[in-house]
A = this chain, B = another copy of it.
Amino acid sequence: MDRIPILRMGEFLLVTIQVDMHDQLALTLQDDLSEQIRRHGSRGVLIDISALDIVDSFIGRMIATISALSKIMDAETVLVGMQPAVAITLVELGLTLPGVSTALNVERGMSLLRDRVRSQ
């Protein structure tokens, strides 16, 4: 697979990460995502990581970069579906994902995004 699909859900975009990320895939995702935000005027990005058993510093940095990139383009990013074991590992490693909002699942993440967009 050479790119991660980005699904449009109304004014938000949903990215489900299921495969191991590598440099080129991460760069392609950033390019595709910024292009989709521009094209559709999206106000929020949901990144679902429920399929990931491991979140290392590479994935963490990629998520932080996507979040910063979206912010510049006036879109909020919410990370959803983190497994409990992943959360424990992140805390133990001291990876705090600064500037990234989280929600338990896609529904709550979408509700959080709606509240944020409405309150602006």
- CB of A81 within 8 A of CB of B8, answer no
Which of B1, B50, B106, B110 interacts with A18 by CB under 8 Å? B1
In the bound complex, what is the Cα–Cα distance between A56 and B105 (angstroms)? 32
Q: Which residues of B contact A9 (CB under 8 A)?
A: 9, 106-107, 110
Most buried by B among A5, A9, A48: A5
Q: Which residues of B contact A105 (CB under 8 A)?
A: 7-8
Which secondary structure dominates where chain A touches chain B?
A: loop
Q: Which residues of B contact A4 (CB under 8 A)?
A: 18, 51
**How many copies of the chain does the oligomer comprise?**
2
Q: How far is the CB of A12 from chain B (nearest CB, A)?
A: 11
Residue tally, chain A, CB below 8 Å to B? 20
Q: Does A21 contact B (CB under 8 A)?
A: no
In the bound complex, what is the Cα–Cα distance between A4 and B48 (angstroms)? 12
- CB of B7 within 8 A of CB of A48, answer yes
Q: How far is the CB of A68 from chain B (nearest CB, A)?
A: 25
Q: How far is the CB of A109 from chain B (nearest CB, A)?
A: 10
The 5 listed contacts between A and B (C-beta, < 8 Å) are A5-B18, A7-B14, A9-B110, A10-B107, A18-B19
